[in-house]
């Protein structure tokens, strides 16, 4: 069995109008742009997809729309994470009923769980859901990391747990996930969550990235991945050095969801930049700071 999810997969920004309503026409524009940029899949309703600011009903409606619109042009992943196990199961079943190719499940946030309770959370989800599941490790937001030995235990029990999104600023953790889980199950996907860990993850034997900059600068990650695969490591390293500057953007606003939308508007597409509260749209001062960073990286022209 080959690796099911690999390459460059954007965590797609969800489009809303100025009244906070889902904007299907702008969503179509974003989807078409990303598909035309030669990405390898699309991940909706992750952190950058504002899932934490949406109701279950809204999440289902958006999932239904994007799956129907993409219409099998690329593999689709739907984020179904929640603070409670029952809701994860409900959202995951819904996603697969709509023909999603996989679901991405962040570990519960607010409560820190014992390792056994963390294992049981995913074990119960996997027992109740038949389609491919990717775990989602983002300890900076959930309060705890998913240990590689827990992942290995889950993968041994459930063959449809097929990968993990590693949004962790630790090459050592990514390495341990690869040497612990992927070494025993080569078809298990290990995908970087941070832009500046794509090169590291590939070099360690991982499979790609699900990182925010793909929304506004897909060419950097797509070209890096292709250069690495073809052995053009000089080009891959040059692109890695550009990607390494991207996190500077994310420091300009917390959460940085609005920064991604503003950068997308500046670099690529005329889209609405509304974000769901408690996130907020950026000020004009911060908008200029975003422009300056994008100019420094070479993503938009200097004055």
Active site residues: 47, 110, 136, 165
Q: Before 278, cis peptide (omega within 30)?
A: yes
d(CA 186, CA 239): 27
Burial 228-249 (b: 16+ CB within 10 A, else e): beeeeeeebeebbebbbbbbeb
Segment (H or E) for 42:
strand 42-44
d(CA 298, CA 215): 16
Closest CA to 271 of 32, 29, 52, 55: 29
Closest CA to 68 of 105, 27, 37: 27
d(CA 284, CA 301): 19
d(CA 171, CA 203): 11
Burial 21-54 (b: 16+ CB within 10 A, else e): eebeebbebbbebbeebebbbbbbbbbbbbbbbb
**Residue spans of beta strands (DSSP E) within the chain:** 7-8, 11-12, 42-44, 76-79, 102-106, 133-137, 161-166, 189-192, 208-209
Question: Phi and psi (nearest 5°) for 38?
Answer: 65, 35
- On whether the CB atoms of residues 217 and 267 are closer than 8 A, the answer is yes
């Amino acid at each position: 069995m080959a690796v099911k999810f690999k390459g460059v997969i954007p965590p797609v920004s969800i489009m809303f109008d100025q009244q906070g309503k889902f904007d299907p026409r702008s969503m179509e524009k974003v989807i078409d742009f990303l598909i035309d940029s030669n990405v390898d899949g699309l991940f909706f309703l992750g952190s950058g997809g504002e899932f934490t600011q949406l109701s279950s009903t809204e999440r289902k409606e958006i999932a239904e729309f994007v799956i129907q619109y993409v219409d099998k042009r690329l593999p689709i992943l739907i984020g179904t994470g929640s603070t409670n196990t029952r809701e994860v199961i409900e959202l995951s079943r819904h996603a697969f009923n709509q023909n999603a190719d996989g679901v991405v499940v962040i570990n519960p946030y607010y409560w820190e769980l014992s390792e056994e309770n963390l294992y049981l959370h995913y074990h119960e989800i996997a027992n109740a859901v038949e389609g491919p599941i990717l775990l989602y490790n983002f300890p900076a937001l959930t309060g705890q990391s998913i240990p590689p030995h827990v992942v290995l235990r889950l993968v041994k029990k459930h063959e449809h747990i097929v990968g993990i999104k590693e949004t962790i600023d630790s090459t050592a953790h990514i390495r341990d996930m690869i040497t612990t889980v992927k070494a025993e199950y080569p078809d298990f996907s290990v995908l970087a969550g941070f832009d500046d860990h794509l090169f590291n993850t590939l070099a360690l034997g991982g499979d790609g990235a699900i990182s925010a900059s793909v929304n506004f600068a897909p060419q950097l990650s797509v070209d890096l991945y292709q250069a690495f695969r073809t052995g053009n490591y000089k080009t891959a390293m040059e692109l890695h050095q550009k990607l390494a500057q991207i996190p500077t953007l994310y420091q300009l606003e917390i959460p940085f969801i609005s920064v991604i939308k503003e950068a997308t508007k500046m670099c690529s597409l005329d889209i609405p930049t509304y974000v769901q509260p408690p996130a907020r749209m950026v000020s004009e001062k911060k908008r200029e700071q975003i422009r300056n960073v994008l100019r420094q990286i070479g993503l938009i022209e200097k004055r």
